[in-house]
Amino acid sequence: MADNRVVVYKGPGEVAVESIDYPKLELPQDVVSGLGIKRAAPHAVILKLVTSNICGSDQHMVRGRTTAPVGQTLGHEITGEIVEIGDDVLFHEVGDICSVPFNIACGRCRMCNEGKTGICLNVNPARAGAAYGYVDMGGWLGGQAEYVMVPFADFNLLKFPDRDQALEKILDLTMLSDIFPTGYHGAYTAGVTTGSTVYVAGAGPVGLAAAYSAQLLGASTVIVGDMNADRLKQAASFGCETADLSSGDALADIIDDILGEPVVDAAVDAVGFEARGHGRDAAEQPATVLNDIMDVARAGASLGIPGLYVTGDPGAVDDAAKQGQIGVRLGLGWAKSHTFVTGQCPVKQYNRQLMNLILADKAHIAEAVNAKTISLDEAPAGYAAFDQGAATKYVIDPHGMVS
């Protein structure tokens, strides 16, 4: 019986909202058969979605730039209310409103015990690490839905301490599932600290979150680079300097004009594998941003790379890039003794502290990323607008719970 609805990938450029069965307290068959574990999941809960956001990572799939099959359910940014609870869930109750890290983690393996929840060993037979509603990430159903199952709930869920306060600040709190921790991770692993000068490549939601996080970490100047005027305007709205890469001017020269020197203390790649060269009509050049940040980061700097890179891109510009091989000037980074930090953000390392900042009215991330609420039925339109470069973070509100 279909008692749930979810956003589904229908082919390049197309998504739809379809009816599916109400979730059960069971693990996906791919995980069960691939890892040889029990299907019953008494450690899980069912959430009624309060909010679920459209992410740039989702857009890579919808553009046909991954190996995602038609029918792939979408959505990994999940905030919800517990409506059903497994017998082995000890520390959560029906009615709790919780943030869900986009990384699915068992809480029991070596990686989880080391705090590396983005590469859990027990949730995806294909590789380390899993996520909701994403290709090659274990077969977990997506959370751009009315209801979703969350496994290992005691470990994965971050409960908001006060329901009324949570609903009042829900547009900020919904960012805890992914982009706020991911942006913070990018800035933090780039070594941003008091007085740092910072370059953030990309003014999409993750780039804006990284720029905002750099300010929280004490940066003196944050420069955001992009070719989208509206997104650059959004970055400027909370105090960032901007680099308009559509001008064709050298990035180092733009930074020199702002700082009086052509280098920064820390740099963040919030773009990923669909990067384009500089100039208004520049073609796709997937290594552009990585080479840029090596070029403008001073010797000895760290480079935070939360932007997504994939092992399979059927729409890539050449055969090498189709396998994730791109022309990175690694010798430059080696010569400058740069530190590279890549991979999924381990959300649980940051989400509680960032929640506390939001609840204490010290962080207003929804304003920084220009959050806008839409209904579940409006999700296809939200995807289309986001793909056209809207300077907006679309927040799906399936049950009309956002005031």
141 touches 23 (CB < 8 A): yes
Percent of the chain having pLDDT more than 90?
Answer: 98
The CATH classification number of 2-178+348-396 equals 3.90.180.10
Contacts of residue 303, defined as CB under 8 A and 6 or more positions apart, other chains included, come to 190, 267, 268, 269, 290, 293, 294, 297, 333, 338, 339, 340, 341
Q: Please report which confidence band the pLDDT of residue 63 belongs to, taking 50, 70 and 90 as the band edges.
A: very high
Percent of the chain having pLDDT more than 70?
Answer: 100
Nearest to 86 by CA among 37, 163, 155: 155
Is it the case that residue 127 has pLDDT exceeding 90?
Answer: yes
pLDDT of residue 281: 86
**Which residues of the chain form CATH 3.40.50.720?**
182-342
Which CATH number is 182-342's, of 3.40.50.2300, 3.40.50.720, 3.30.70.260, 3.90.550.10?
3.40.50.720
**Which residues of the chain form CATH 3.90.180.10?**
2-178+348-396
Q: Give the pair of three-digit tokens for residue 46.
A: 């069912």
269 touches 289 (CB < 8 A): yes
Query: Three-state SS string across the chain, please?
Result: CEEEEEEEEEECCEEEEEEEECCCCECCHHHHHHHCCCCECCCCEEEEEEEEECCHHHHHHHCCCCCCCCCCECCCEEEEEEEEECCCCCCCCCCCEEEECCECCCCCCHHHHCCCHHHCCCCCCCCCCCECCCCCCCCCCCCCECEEEECCHHHHCEECCCHHHHHHCHHHHHHHHCHHHHHHHHHHHCCCCCCCEEEEECCCHHHHHHHHHHHHCCCCEEEEEECCHHHHHHHHCCCCEEEEHHHCCCHHHHHHHHHCCCCECEEEECCCCCCECCCCCCCECCCHHHHHHHHHECCCCEEEECCCCCCCCCCCCCHHHHCCCCCCCHHHHHHCCCEEEECCCCHHHCHHHHHHHHHCCCCCHHHHCCEEEECHHHHHHHHHHHHCCCCCEEEECCCCCCC
pLDDT digits (tens, 9 = 90+) for 160-202: 999 999 999 999 999 999 999 999 999 999 999 999 999 999 9
Q: Please report which confidence band the pLDDT of residue 1 belongs to, taking 50, 70 and 90 as the band edges.
A: very low
pLDDT digits (tens, 9 = 90+) for 75-95: 999 999 999 999 999 999 999
Q: Give the pair of three-digit tokens for residue 402.
A: 């956002």
Rounded average pLDDT over 237-241: 98
